[in-house]
């Protein structure tokens, strides 16, 4: 029996369970959440992270999220600058894409503690615009903040190939909770986002990219919400790409 393999698998399962329990995704319909101050950066509750999606069926947190070098991003940018349309398309596929997270308490589920809600550019911009409006201000304030209504519609409901998320900030100012002990728990007993999404080393990401490039020349994606990206990024010249990889990392 390979004990190291079993230990690694146990660690993977524990990490997956930890991630699931600390993330929140809206379900079809209406939900109410409260964005709360982030324990690890009380000046800003929004955490911008960059990910490489679907490289060999895996997602990778990009070190550029923290201002550090990322071999996959370097490779993507080099491909985009070669002047080749195919290289540009592959570069667009593998380059890091931003996802914003905020610590939230879900109304009716306060005892489950603070979880992280991940959302895209449109929701992020709308939240920033509301907070920048002096009529609203800091909607995360523990006493005078505001709840946020989140409306999620499936692709079937929207009649499109992808779901939609819309928000509406409540006009009334309310406390996070009237329970002082619960408030202390919600504000202090929080995970650091880096405990949920862990950064890998430069060497490990280089290997992941190499493995991905050696895995084949096409990618068939089943998820409907990825079709826009994949329409421009499914085919490339594997020899040319491999040569570019060698040029970037071996010279």
pLDDT tens-digit map of 51-109: 999 998 999 999 999 999 999 999 999 999 999 999 999 999 999 999 999 999 999 99
**Cβ pair 42, 155 in contact under 8 A:** no
Decide the pairing of beta strands 23-24 and 115-119: parallel
DSSP 225: G
Q: For the chain, what is the mean pLDDT? A: 84
Transcribe 7-65 into DSSP letters: HHHHHHHHHHHHHHHHEE-PPSEEEEEEE--BTTBTT---EEEEEEEEETTEEEE-GGG
Residue 244 has pLDDT above 70, yes or no: no
pLDDT at residue 13, as a whole number: 52
Backbone angles phi, psi at 31, to 5 degrees: -135, 155
Say whether pLDDT at 228 is over 90. Answer: no
The predicted structure's pLDDT at residue 223? 36
Separation of CA 30 from chain center: 22
pLDDT of residue 235: 39
User: pLDDT at residue 239 above 60?
Assistant: no
- Window from 11-20, 175-184, 195-204 with minimum mean pLDDT: 11-20
Q: Is 166 helix (H, G, I), strand (E, B) or coil?
A: strand
Say if CB 87 and CB 232 are below 8 A apart. Answer: no
Q: Identify the helix (H) or strand (E) that includes residue 246.
A: helix 238-249
CA angle 71, 75, 78 (to 5 degrees): 140
Long-range contacts at 80-87 (CB < 8 A, ≥ 24 apart): 82/244, 84/240, 86/235, 86/236, 86/237, 86/240, 87/236, 87/240, 87/241, 87/244
pLDDT at 106: 97
pLDDT digits (tens, 9 = 90+) for 21-62: 899 999 999 999 999 999 999 999 999 999 999 998 999 999
In the chain the domains, ranked by start, together with CATH numbers, are 22-249 (3.90.198.10)
Q: In the chain, what is the straight-line distance between the N-terminal and C-terminal CA atoms, in Å?
A: 41
CA-CA distance, 113 to 110, in Å (whole number)?
Answer: 6
* pLDDT for the residue 146: 97
pLDDT at 216 over 50: no
Task: Identify the pLDDT of residue 217.
Answer: 40
The pLDDT confidence band at residue 172, using thresholds 50, 70 and 90, is: very high
- In angstroms, the CA 147 to CA 149 distance is 7
pLDDT tier, 142 (very low <50, low <70, confident <90, very high otherwise): very high
Higher pLDDT, 195 or 16: 195
Contact of 105 with 186, CB cutoff 8 Å: yes
pLDDT at residue 15, rounded to an integer? 52
Give the confidence band of 227 by pLDDT, cuts at 50, 70, 90.
Answer: very low
**Could you give the CA distance from residue 3 to residue 11 in angstroms, rounded to a whole number?**
12
pLDDT reported for residue 21:
82
Residue 215: its pLDDT value, please?
80
Q: Which of 2-11, 24-33, 203-212, 221-230 has the lowest mean pLDDT?
A: 221-230
Lowest-confidence pick of 18-22, 133-137, 177-181: 18-22
The mean pLDDT of 136-146, rounded to a whole number, is 95
């Amino acid at each position: 029996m390979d004990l190291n393999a079993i230990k690694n698998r146990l660690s993977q399962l524990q990490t997956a369970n930890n991630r699931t329990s600390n993330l929140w995704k809206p379900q079809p319909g209406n939900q109410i959440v409260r964005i709360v101050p982030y324990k690890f950066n009380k000046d800003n509750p929004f955490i911008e992270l960059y990910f490489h999606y679907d490289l060999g069926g895996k997602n990778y947190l990009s070190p550029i999220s923290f201002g550090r070098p990322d071999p996959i991003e370097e490779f993507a940018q080099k491909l985009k600058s070669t002047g080749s349309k195919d290289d540009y398309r592959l570069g667009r596929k593998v380059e890091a894409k931003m996802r914003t997270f905020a610590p939230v308490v879900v109304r009716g589920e306060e005892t489950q503690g603070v979880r992280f809600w991940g959302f895209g550019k449109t929701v992020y911009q709308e939240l920033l615009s509301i907070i920048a409006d002096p009529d609203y201000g800091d909607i995360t304030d523990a006493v005078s903040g505001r709840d946020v209504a989140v409306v999620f519609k499936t692709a079937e409901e929207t009649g499109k190939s992808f779901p939609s998320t819309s928000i509406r900030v409540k006009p009334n100012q309310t406390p996070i909770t009237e329970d002082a002990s619960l408030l202390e728990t919600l504000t202090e007993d929080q995970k650091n986002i880096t405990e949920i999404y862990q950064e890998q080393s430069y060497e490990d990401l280089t290997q992941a990219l190499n493995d991905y490039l050696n895995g084949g020349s096409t990618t068939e994606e089943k998820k409907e919400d990825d079709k826009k990206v994949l329409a421009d990024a499914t085919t490339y010249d594997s020899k040319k790409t491999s040569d570019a990889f060698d040029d970037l990392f071996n010279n």
